[in-house]
Amino acid sequence: MKLGDAWVVIEPNVNDINHAICGNRRNCVIALAVDRQFNLKGTGYTSVDANDIGITYKGIRYHYKPNRSMMTYLRTFDYIGEKKGIEEARQATKPKGFKCRFISSDYIAPPATEARKKRINDLRRERIAAAKAAGTYQPARRRYAGV
């Protein structure tokens, strides 16, 4: 099983449950299990949301669709942890395997170099100067309260 396979099985173990943090997408039971299974500790980034498991590794972002039972498992852990405490949540949660479906992968663009930033700004200044010369320039409007 490797990143990018059509289906993967995520299997949280007792160690993942004991180190999980309730309500934390980076350190939840599922994220810790994914990090352990794919050996991502320190080299990748895993984030678990209600509809997506995002894994970033070596410049590629992988997206997996968790099944309903996995999300119920995770919500139950978080709910018990919030209402009764983390120790109660850890005792109530048992290791269980889940199947996830691969959705897509995206390449992550590297940050722009200083030369590229300078070129972008120079082109922007040229466009503004040409628009002012043609009399069609309209300054950018400020946004108010997200409008």
The tens digit of pLDDT for each residue in 63-107 reads 888 888 888 888 888 888 888 888 888 888 888 888 888 888 888
Residues 7-32 have a mean pLDDT of 88
Residues 112-116 have a mean pLDDT of 91
The tens digit of pLDDT for each residue in 33-66 reads 888 888 887 778 888 887 888 888 888 888 888 8
Tell me, what's the pLDDT at 146?
A: 55
Residues 114-143 have a mean pLDDT of 90
Tell me, what's the pLDDT at 143?
A: 64
d(CA 9, CA 117): 43
Residues 108-131 have a mean pLDDT of 91
Whether residue 131 has pLDDT greater than 80: yes
pTM of the predicted model as reported, rounded to 2 decimal places: 0.69
Please report the DSSP string for the chain in residue order. Answer: --TT-SEEEE---HHHHHH--TT-SSSSHHHHHHHHHTT-TTTEEEEE-SS-EEEEETTEEEEEEE-HHHHHHHHHHHHHHHHH-HHHHHHH-----EEEEEEEEEEPPPPPPHHHHHHHHHHHHHHHHHHHHHT---PPPPP-TT-
Tell me, what's the pLDDT at 1?
A: 59
